[in-house]
Amino acid sequence: MSSTILLENPEAGIAVLTLNRPDKLNALSWEMLNAFQAALDTAESNADVRVLILRGAGDRAFAAGADIAGYEGRREREFMDFQFAGRRLNDRLEAFPKPTIAAVNGFALGGGFEIVLCCDLIVVATTARLGLPEGLLGLSPGGGGTQRLMRSLGRHATAELLLTAWRMKGERAYQLGLAAALCEPEELMSTALEKARAMLKVAPKALTEMKRLVRLGADAALPTALAFEQEVLFRLYCSEDGQEGIDAFLEKRSPQFKGA
């Protein structure tokens, strides 16, 4: 795997993916996109990994967007190919079957913020600065930023962030409900790990199904989403873990989930 993407297992059940170009504020390059996809393949195929945390190397940025040096010279085909690759990565990350947590310290701008928006939970440090400032380059976001942010914050908050190139502070992201937790920079990873450990207590199949309900239900008509919700519940009830959870509750003991 490329040194620009690191994948580690700090403790049982949890993997940490690090964007590792701190000298470039972890700006996204072709090499990083390819290595990121490979890291997702590894984490998905590893049954011992149940939660994935994403972070940026260093204390200055999660990822400050794409490496703009690669945009110079009006190379239309190369630019479009890079954008398509970024979108494929973001779509893959959003559909990743295991819960994902973005731990954001410093800049998460442009493509970096788009990666954050694909994660299930966002934890921000007080130093976090999140935004989609592509308009300052005469461009617009192309990796899902406008649409995913609008589905998270609504039309008017998204318009403000886009049309003013506003860099939203971590505290504001937490106030708006975009971030699940706000902490000091030195507490960022411990806070993300705390959220991950809480997820490990939930039955694996239930985690996967509830993640899917949140992702797909938001864009479905309410009757369709409600039917989907009940269908998931019925399948989980008939599963081994569903019955184990009920038995453990009634017997006043901790459940032993097997992912079945």
Looking at residue 129, which CATH number applies to its domain?
Answer: 3.90.226.10
Whether residue 40 is found in the same domain as residue 88: yes
pTM of the model: 0.94
Whether residue 193 is found in the same domain as residue 235: no
Q: What is the pLDDT of residue 73?
A: 77
Identify whether 256 is part of a domain.
Answer: no
Whether residue 20 is found in the same domain as residue 142: yes
- DSSP-assigned states of every residue in 192-204: HHHHHHHHHTS-H
- Distance CA(91)–CA(149), nearest Å, equals 14
The one catalytic residue among 8, 114, 194, 244: 114
Number of domains within the chain? 2
Identify whether 195 is part of a domain.
Answer: yes
Q: Angle 111-130-67 (CA atoms, 0-180°, nearest 5)?
A: 30
| Neighbouring C-alpha atoms within 13 Å toward the C-beta of 253 | 7
Whether residue 236 is found in the same domain as residue 188: no
Whether residue 160 is found in the same domain as residue 36: yes
Identify whether 258 is part of a domain.
Answer: no
Residue 82: burial class (beta carbons within 10 Å; 0-12, 13-18, 19+) = buried
**Residues in CB range of 203: below 8 A, 6 or more apart:** 236, 241, 242, 244, 245, 255, 257, 259
The one catalytic residue among 72, 134, 187, 209: 134
How is residue 179 written in tokens?
Answer: 């971030």
Whether residue 84 is found in the same domain as residue 96: yes
Identify whether 61 is part of a domain.
Answer: yes
Residue 47: give the domain boundaries: 5-200
Identify whether 133 is part of a domain.
Answer: yes
Q: How distant, in Å, are the alpha carbons of 47, 201, 212, 260 from that of 256?
A: 16, 10, 23, 11
Residues 62/107, Cβ–Cβ less than 8 Å: yes
pLDDT of 177-235, one tens digit each?
A: 999 999 999 999 999 999 999 999 999 999 999 999 999 888 899 999 999 999 999 99
78 as an active site residue: the answer is no
Whether residue 114 is found in the same domain as residue 216: no
Whether residue 116 is found in the same domain as residue 172: yes
φ, ψ dihedrals at 102, nearest 5° = -95, 125
Q: What is the H or E stretch that residue 218 is in?
A: none
* Residues of the chain under the 50 pLDDT cut: none
- DSSP-assigned states of every residue in 42-107: HHHH-TT--EEEEEESSSSEEE-SB-GGGGTT--HHHHHHHHHHHHHHHHHHHT-SS-EEEEE-SE
Whether residue 152 is found in the same domain as residue 33: yes
- Distance CA(45)–CA(52), nearest Å, equals 12
Q: How distant, in Å, are the alpha carbons of 132, 138, 145, 156 from that of 160?
A: 10, 17, 14, 6
Could you identify the residue written with the tokens 């998204």? 158
Whether residue 167 is found in the same domain as residue 233: no
114 as an active site residue: the answer is yes
Identify whether 259 is part of a domain.
Answer: no
Q: What CATH code is carried by the domain that includes residue 233?
A: 1.10.12
Q: Which of 178, 200, 222 is the last residue of a domain?
A: 200
Identify whether 215 is part of a domain.
Answer: yes
Identify whether 68 is part of a domain.
Answer: yes
Whether residue 121 is found in the same domain as residue 218: no
Whether residue 133 is found in the same domain as residue 179: yes
